[in-house]
Amino acid sequence: MAEEGKSPSGTPIPTKGQAGVVPPPCLLVIFGASGDLTKRKLVPALFGLFREGLLPEEFAVLGISRTPFSDDAFRDHLRDGIAGGSQGTFDQSSWDAFAGKIFYQPGDIGDPESAKALGARIRAVSNERGIPGNLVFYASVAPKFFTPLIRRIGEAGLAAPTEDMPGYRRVVIEKPFGHDLESARELSRNVMDVFREDQVYRIDHYLGKETVQNILVFRFANGIFEPLWNRNYIDHVQITVAEDIGVEGRGDYFEEAGVVRDMIQNHLFQLLSNVAMEPPISLAANDIRDEKVKLLRSIEPVSEEDVGHVCVRGQYAAGEVKGQQVPAYRQEKDVSPGSLTETYAAIRFTIDNWRWGGVPFYLRTGKRLGGRMSEIAIKFRPAPFLLFDKTMSGQLVSNYLVLNIQPEEGIFLKFGAKTPGPSICVEPVEFKFTYEQSFGVKSRPAYGRLLLDAMLGDATLFPRDDTVDISWSLLEPFLSRWKENPGRDLFFYPAGAWGPREAEQLLSREGRTWRIP
């Protein structure tokens, strides 16, 4: 029997929470490498890991796209992206050391000859860098290319170990994973034709944020909160992901997606499952993901007839954001002048289990709103006896616990306190924790954590196939209703507002209001 904490061969097994774990040697193959995601997110995150000493010496990146870069030209292209966003902290010597690990291969995934050339280049780079066959494929391509790319990897014999290229094979797939239930299931079948489920890492960058990971620690490592985390003490929960920007040149993509597909199906459902799930039996990936699946299955399905009662869609009109006049969504590039795509959505869900029975969860997201923020706001029930009702304080404000995801990363608790003076007067005050103040640093970029986990083989922060399936199933009645009549439940709001006025009624008819930061 192997010693605890070691593999049968005696090699130490990295454990969750182990500081500074370095993954085994590997080659990261990025398809669509000339795109914005690689330049702005992936390579800067890898460079950060390199500077922290979290990448193995035997590591390399191989970029693949149709752009005719040489190795040096590709490195210069990536350097410009990192140096431009470093705000004067760019370290040229560190970059020079890291850039030697970056390679490029021009190619078209639709061309069989390109696949052969790719296989040869993978072997050449692996041999040069001393990498024993471990490959991570990253699909940074448009969703319509996911299936052709996966098939090409399989046809090229790259999806499984070979005699000259032993080691693991993993594939990271960007969102969106499908655009409805049927397409998600079809994509899953196509992926499973080539890879096993344990080789597939569906990336949701929100799960890589420290503040999202901290939700489970906050809940289950602190004895003072978990006893209150139920229907007896919590009135309702609001989950908000708001942006003050528009579609930022992505009008063609957004016209096909809308915020329900782009945000609620993945980001907001993941936040909901983290805040409402039951405690897992361990921190193992499947134990945590099992509880998330159980929670999502407990969400009460909404019938197509009730969609209009529990959901408000919106689209931004022209308005003012941060003192600047901005155009309406319909005036954005690559957007139809008569578009009925939603840029805002607010949905009320309930969870049919003993912990949350009767507690509404309000999910809200949108573009061109009054500010940029992502938060989970838990409103507690008011004190049962208004002892101070006849004092100068008047009606007391209920307690709020707010988990700030971004931009200010932290947690704050709103409670009542006596103001100084001879009279009893209660005012709401805030107890605040921020990552920057407490730990002296801002949290690591989300993509860095997720890339590191993919190389380590830790799938905890990657949604499983059944999670994706349930998420789309919950949204199917909404998408069916809007497909039949795209203008249903759609209202307009001026850019810079916090959504359409009709969204207020979603809460006001139950005596509640949206929290405005």
| 145 contacts: CB under 8 Å, gap ≥ 6 | 32, 109, 139
CA dist., res. 277 & res. 355, Å (int) = 9
Which positions are catalytic?
Answer: 267
CB-neighbour burial class of residue 516 (10 A; exposed 0-12, middle 13-18, buried 19+): exposed
Residue 86 has a pLDDT of 59
SS3 state at 376: strand
| CATH number of the structural domain 207-444+481-508 | 3.30.360.10
Note the pTM of the prediction, 2 decimals: 0.89
Helix (H) or strand (E) run with residue 252 in it: helix 251-259
Give the domain 26-174 fold.
Answer: Rossmann fold (3.40.50)
Full DSSP string of 260-326: IIIIIIIIIHHHHHHHHPPPPSSSSHHHHHHHHHHHHHHBPPPPGGGHHHHEEEEEEESEEETTEEE
- Give the chain's largest Cα–Cα span: 85
Residue 296 has a pLDDT of 97
Q: What is the pLDDT along the chain (517 residues), one digit of tens a residue?
A: 333 333 333 333 343 434 468 999 999 999 999 988 999 899 999 999 999 999 999 999 999 999 999 999 999 999 887 876 655 577 888 999 999 999 999 988 777 778 888 888 999 999 999 998 899 999 999 888 999 999 999 988 899 988 888 899 999 998 889 999 999 999 999 999 999 999 999 998 888 888 888 899 999 999 898 899 999 999 999 999 999 999 887 888 888 889 999 999 999 999 999 999 999 999 999 999 999 999 999 999 999 999 999 999 999 999 998 889 999 999 999 999 999 999 999 999 999 999 999 999 999 999 999 999 999 999 999 876 666 666 655 556 678 999 999 888 889 988 777 777 777 777 777 888 888 888 877 777 789 999 999 999 999 999 999 999 999 999 999 999 998 888 888 999 999 999 999 999 999 999 999 998 7
Whose tokens are 């490195």? That residue is 75
Residue 211 has a pLDDT of 87
Q: pLDDT per residue over 477-501, tens digit each?
A: 999 999 888 888 899 999 999 999 9
Side chain identity, residue 342: E
Q: Could you write out the three-class secondary structure of 308-325?
A: HHHEEEEEEECEEECCEE
Helix (H) or strand (E) run with residue 360 in it: strand 360-366
Return the domain boundaries, the chain.
Answer: 26-174, 207-444+481-508
Residue 107 has a pLDDT of 86
CA dist., res. 450 & res. 174, Å (int) = 12
C-alpha radius of gyration, the chain, whole number: 25
Beta carbons of 249 and 255 less than 8 angstroms apart: no
CB-neighbour burial class of residue 319 (10 A; exposed 0-12, middle 13-18, buried 19+): middle
Side chain identity, residue 385: F
Beta carbons of 364 and 506 less than 8 angstroms apart: no
Adjacent-strand bridge partners of 417? 427
Beta carbons of 184 and 190 less than 8 angstroms apart: no
SS3 state at 64: strand
Strand-strand pairing, 311-317 and 400-406:
unpaired
CA dist., res. 300 & res. 188, Å (int) = 25
Beta carbons of 396 and 383 less than 8 angstroms apart: yes
